[in-house]
Amino acid sequence: MAAVLAGGSLLAAGAGAGPARAAGEPAAYGFAAEARPVSGASTTSDAPRLAAGAVYQDVIRRDGKLIYRVDLDDAHHAYVSAVAVPPRGAELSYRDQLSVSLQDRDGSDCSGTTTQFGSADFARPLAAYAHRTLEADRSRCREAGSYYVVVERDGQDASSAEPWGLELRHVLEPTLSSSGPTEAPEGWPSASPAPPAGGPRERAGGTGFADAPGLTEGEWTDRIEPGESRFYRIPVDWGQQLFVSADLGSSAGGGFVSGALPVSLYNPALGLVDSADSLAYDGKQKSATLDPLPPVAYANRFASDTETNGMRFAGWYYLRVSLNPKVAQVFGKKPYGLTLRVNVEHDAAAAPPYAGPAGIFAVTDGDRRAAVDGASGTEPGGGGAMRLVAAGGIGAGTLLLGGLGAWTLLARRRAGAGPGGGTGAGAGGAPGAGGAPGYGPPQGGGW
């Protein structure tokens, strides 16, 4: 009980709070408040287990390799993501990279991805994921049992040797109760939509994926420091198409900075969908625009290109915007104006026939309200932590609910309830114990 209550206090204390910083300094990355410490192993025999629905925190050294274990059934797709956080000011090369792979017990890769800093080679958070997708025409990686997550950091001789922080997540997606399309769509509308109406509104970005505020369609303004990364999230439902651009405001002075404003979009499982890293800044206002993306569809997972494959499920899509620290050297150390333009096209379509609760792979009414209010996943009603637990089936939230139910039962008994008091509906019918509301399929066309 003490552990349960302490965990609840930790979640409450971390809700919506970013790391403290000195005036004029860019904010550090905001790790999830509920992240559990873990130490990856050097061999599969010693690999610690990652529970579905939980968040973990670790560190990885240059040219390091860490191994974790996940126990999977044969009825869920599985995703494991790693967010790498180099120290602010670390010297990096465009070739420094983070790789994540998921392997079966025979050492075969189920999948894997690698992400690099590219031409904008300055320290900023990067994320990559690996997955086990149950495909009818694939015999490997379908069995229930232990699988191994391998996270590797490949550094260069000229790069800083400091450890990078790691934030790890493991989530599950149910399979379908009936068969559906097995080929990715070949085309979709790619014309840029009209600018969002309503004029600019202010919304301060988060310091990490955990405290990223929600955005709806519209024009949003913020301020960003050189060397800082800002995070936002947008609910995108089945059949909807997302268009995003980021504008860096003008500044007095002359000069030139390449790779000034890298922008990356991640899907609900924190897989990289698309990025725009080549914006060159000369003091005049500049815009970075992501390529047109396909509407969200289950069949997108059968595509070979990253952009289509990543738009495989509904849920919160995350936007990371970073400002190159060289901007401060050329144009001055100060906050710079940032404008985001977000379009979400088309009405929501029907969800695919999942065989269980969709968890984070859905857009609920609560998510839509959180986007309007700018709530993050750490805030009440933010649609984050509890739905992550629902997707995994286990985790800190389940323990917390069970502990609070036991606490309520104990309090009722001590209050002198009559015979049987506290052992009826109050003991077994705690609100929230049976699945979160809002998982019903949206009204609309096919999935």
Residues 239-248: tens digit of each pLDDT: 999 999 999 9
Structural tokens at position 291: 């390529």
Tell me, what's the pLDDT at 388?
Answer: 57
Domain boundary among 347, 363, 379: 379
- The candidate with the shortest Cα–Cα distance to 222, out of 253, 243, 246, 195, is 246
Question: What is the count of structural domains for the chain?
Answer: 2
Task: Identify whether residues 275 and 356 lie together within a single domain.
Answer: yes
Alpha helices, H only, 298-384: 306-310, 326-331, 365-373
Pairing of strands 200-202, 109-116: unpaired
For the chain, 447 residues long, give each residue's pLDDT as a single digit of tens.
333 333 333 333 333 334 444 556 788 999 999 999 999 999 999 999 999 999 999 999 999 999 999 999 999 999 999 999 999 989 998 889 999 999 999 999 999 999 999 888 899 999 999 999 998 777 789 999 999 999 999 988 888 999 999 999 999 999 999 987 888 888 888 888 998 988 899 999 999 999 999 999 999 999 999 999 999 999 999 999 999 999 999 999 889 999 999 999 999 999 999 999 989 999 999 999 999 999 999 999 999 999 999 999 999 999 999 999 999 999 999 999 999 999 999 999 999 999 999 999 999 999 999 999 999 988 877 765 546 544 544 333 433 334 444 434 434 433 443 333 333 333 333 333 333 333 333 333 345
**CB distance 436 to 381 below 8 Å:** no
Residue 101, in any domain of the structure: yes
Task: Identify whether residues 143 and 37 lie together within a single domain.
Answer: yes
- The candidate with the shortest Cα–Cα distance to 361, out of 320, 328, 312, 397, is 312
Residue 142, in any domain of the structure: yes
Task: Identify whether residues 220 and 110 lie together within a single domain.
Answer: no
Domain boundary among 175, 204, 238: 175
Task: Identify whether residues 39 and 118 lie together within a single domain.
Answer: yes
Task: Identify whether residues 294 and 257 lie together within a single domain.
Answer: yes
Task: Identify whether residues 121 and 216 lie together within a single domain.
Answer: no
Tell me, what's the pLDDT at 198?
Answer: 84
Tell me, what's the pLDDT at 447?
Answer: 55
Task: Identify whether residues 221 and 370 lie together within a single domain.
Answer: yes
Structural tokens at position 357: 């609760």
Structural tokens at position 304: 């070979």
Q: Which domain holds residue 268?
A: 195-379
426: left (phi over 0), alpha (psi -120 to 50) or beta: alpha
Residue 215, in any domain of the structure: yes
Residue 143, in any domain of the structure: yes
Tell me, what's the pLDDT at 24?
Answer: 62
**CB distance 120 to 325 below 8 Å:** no
Task: Identify whether residues 203 and 310 lie together within a single domain.
Answer: yes
Residue 19, in any domain of the structure: no
Cα(315)–Cα(359) distance, integer angstroms = 9
Task: Identify whether residues 34 and 155 lie together within a single domain.
Answer: yes
142: left (phi over 0), alpha (psi -120 to 50) or beta: alpha
Residue 406, in any domain of the structure: no
Largest CA distance in the chain: 81
Structural tokens at position 156: 């260069």
Spell out the residues 6+ positions from residue 410 whose beta carbon is closer than 8 angstroms to its own. none
Quick one: how far is CA 369 from the chain centroid?
19
Produce one character per residue of 306-324: b if its CB has 16 or more CB atoms within 10 Å, e if not: ebbbbbbbbbbbbbbbbbb
Give me the torsion for CA of 166, 174, 309, 52, rounded to 10°. 0
**CB distance 298 to 180 below 8 Å:** yes
Cα(421)–Cα(298) distance, integer angstroms = 48
Structural tokens at position 300: 């997108």
Q: Classify 200 as helix, strand or coil.
A: strand
Name the DSSP letter for residue 46.
G
Task: Identify whether residues 140 and 64 lie together within a single domain.
Answer: yes
Q: Classify 95 as helix, strand or coil.
A: coil
Residue 316, in any domain of the structure: yes
Task: Identify whether residues 213 and 156 lie together within a single domain.
Answer: no
The CATH number covering residue 355 comes to: 2.60.120.380
Structural tokens at position 184: 């990715």
Count the residues in the chain.
447
Residue 157, in any domain of the structure: yes
The amino acid at residue 289 is T
Domain boundary among 349, 379, 409: 379
Task: Identify whether residues 167 and 206 lie together within a single domain.
Answer: no
Cα(405)–Cα(427) distance, integer angstroms = 7
Q: Containing H/E element for 318? A: strand 315-322
Spell out the residues 6+ positions from residue 333 whose beta carbon is closer than 8 angstroms to its own. 24, 225, 226
- The candidate with the shortest Cα–Cα distance to 210, out of 336, 320, 309, 311, is 320
**CB distance 413 to 421 below 8 Å:** yes
